[in-house]
A and B are shown apart, each in its own frame.
With several copies, the nearest count.
Chain A
Amino acid sequence: MINKVVASAEEACRGIQSGMTIMLGGFGLCGIPENCISELVKLKINNLTCISNNAGVDDFGLGFLLQQRQIKKMVSSYVGENDEFERQMLSGELEVDLIPQGSLAERCRAAGAGIPAFYTPAGYGTEVGEGKEVRIFNGKPHILEEALTADYAIVKAWKGDKTGNLIFKGTARNFNPAMAMAGKITIAEVEELVEPGELDPNQIHVPGIFIQKIFEGDSYEKRIEQRTTRKKD
């Protein structure tokens, strides 16, 4: 087995530099790589292009990087929960590239799967389709979308083994598997790191071949963005 273990977020993030493009898994605050985000803040690198479905909230997730003005450009599908983001976007400090959520996921998977481009109906006839090739398949117009890669992809899993095999819990899976495939270098942080063989080989969501570095995160706050409940009768 090829051992991918590094000691810490610090060691995992060594090599990430200002100006790089970084993918970060998660949907809202669910399944985000909390420990690596903290490390990126500490590194004080900037001019980053961040590809992530959302941009965190003001005081959690990618909001930490926005507060420190470390992000030059966000590539996301929805960015609505962050005042600092709004301020920087409206003032022109921050570039924003908005991509339909399904196209974002598929473009990441495509990059990881060696598919340089594919056709999708999403965005045809809208601003998203402007300047893109249109082709009719089965009587329906589609646009050509290209694969989306990154210098580093950073994902967060529930359990992982030392060779990089990952298992996710609940809807914290979201963008993590597709982004794990898409990074030139992919870092996985996990809640629990185990020995090879401890995970059932039938039940692994991301095979270790896609992962270059793995470590067990020190702490996870796992903040809830919208706490909705019902009362017991």
Chain B
Amino acid sequence: MALDKNGIAKRIAQELQDRWYVNLGIGIPTLVANHIPEEISVDFQSENGILGMGPFPFEGEEDADLINAGKQTITALPGAVYFDSATSFAMIRGQHVQLTVLGAMEVSENGDIANWKIPGKMVKGMGGAMDLVASADNIIVAMMHTNKKGESKLLKQCSLPLTGVGCVKKVVTNLAVLDVTKEGFKLIERAPGVSVEEIKKATEGN
């Protein structure tokens, strides 16, 4: 049975290592925070200017001056710190953040990623995604294996305008975990009950 969004997040959480600083994108990546193994310490960075991000506030305790990059109200854990946008991207560009998890529209077999623009449609902008993917040593993409039309999102070559080049190291989808290697996508793990054939069929790239 293919994983749901929470299942994808839970699987990604297993990739986290003790003492890592992690940036989680909007959507499925945000859910990763709910599944951190108890035995490890990780800190969450949000690029609008907080390290040590905690859970959503209790009702009535929201603070308009305390949000995450998705503009959601959040809380700060003990030991948290606030900083400005230039410092935030100094952390990201300077590779002080060990892992970035983000969503994508397309990933190619050489690690290119497209997730910000569909020609002809309203373009909302790349936000911090281009900085994140160009900088991080370690990028995991969290997404569904196919789009709503059933077409593969793991391609030989991205058809949409790129967000970054050759940067994705790992993709976790509803069907599988795949590494991006010099030889293209390498199947690491199948979702429970999903066959190799199903995954191959849903994967355009090699």
Contact = CB atoms under 8 A, between A and B. Distances in A.
Interface of A: 1-3, 27-31, 53, 76-81, 86, 89-90, 96, 98, 100-106, 108-109, 111-115, 120-128, 158, 161-163, 165, 168-178, 181, 195-197, 201-202, 204-205, 207-210, 222-232
Contact of B126 (A128, A195, A204): A128
Given A122-B130, A128-B130, A226-B67, A201 B52 contact: yes
Interface residues of B, number: 75
B85 interface: yes
Contacts of A29: 64, 71
Contacts of A31: 65
A79 B125 CA distance: 6
Interface of B: 19, 21, 41-43, 45-52, 55-74, 76-97, 112, 117, 122-131, 134-135, 161-166
A202 B82 contact: yes
B204 to A, nearest CB: 21
A173 B90 CA distance: 15
A226 B130 contact: no
Contacts of B87: 207
A28 B67 contact: yes
Nearest to B20: A2
B126 A101 contact: yes
Nearest to A141: B165
Identify which of B81, B92, B95, B165 gathers the most chain A CB atoms within 10 Å of its CB. Answer: B81
A114 to B, nearest CB: 3
B96 A230 contact: no
Nearest to B76: A201
B97 to A, nearest CB: 7
A90 B124 CA distance: 12
B165 A126 contact: yes
Contacts of B97: 209
Contact of B73 (A112, A127, A195, A227): A227
Contacts of A204: 81-83
Given A174-B48, A209-B43, A105 B89 contact: yes
B122 A89 contact: yes
B65 A122 contact: no
B62 A90 contact: no
20 contacts: A1-B78, A101-B126, A102-B92, A106-B89, A120-B131, A122-B93, A122-B134, A124-B165, A126-B161, A127-B161, A128-B126, A128-B130, A173-B49, A177-B86, A178-B85, A181-B94, A195-B78, A205-B84, A209-B91, A226-B72
Contacts of A162: 79
B64 A222 contact: yes
Contact of B59 (A102, A158, A226, A229): A229
B47 A101 contact: yes
A101 B135 CA distance: 13
Contacts of A120: 93, 131, 134
A230 B60 CA distance: 10
Contacts of A115: 93
A105 B88 contact: yes
A210 B83 CA distance: 13
Contacts of A53: 85
A101 B134 CA distance: 12
B195 to A, nearest CB: 35
A35 to B, nearest CB: 15
A196 B110 CA distance: 42
A230 B19 CA distance: 27
Nearest to A233: B58
B83 A226 contact: no
B71 A30 contact: yes
Contacts of B52: 1, 163, 201
A81 B90 CA distance: 26
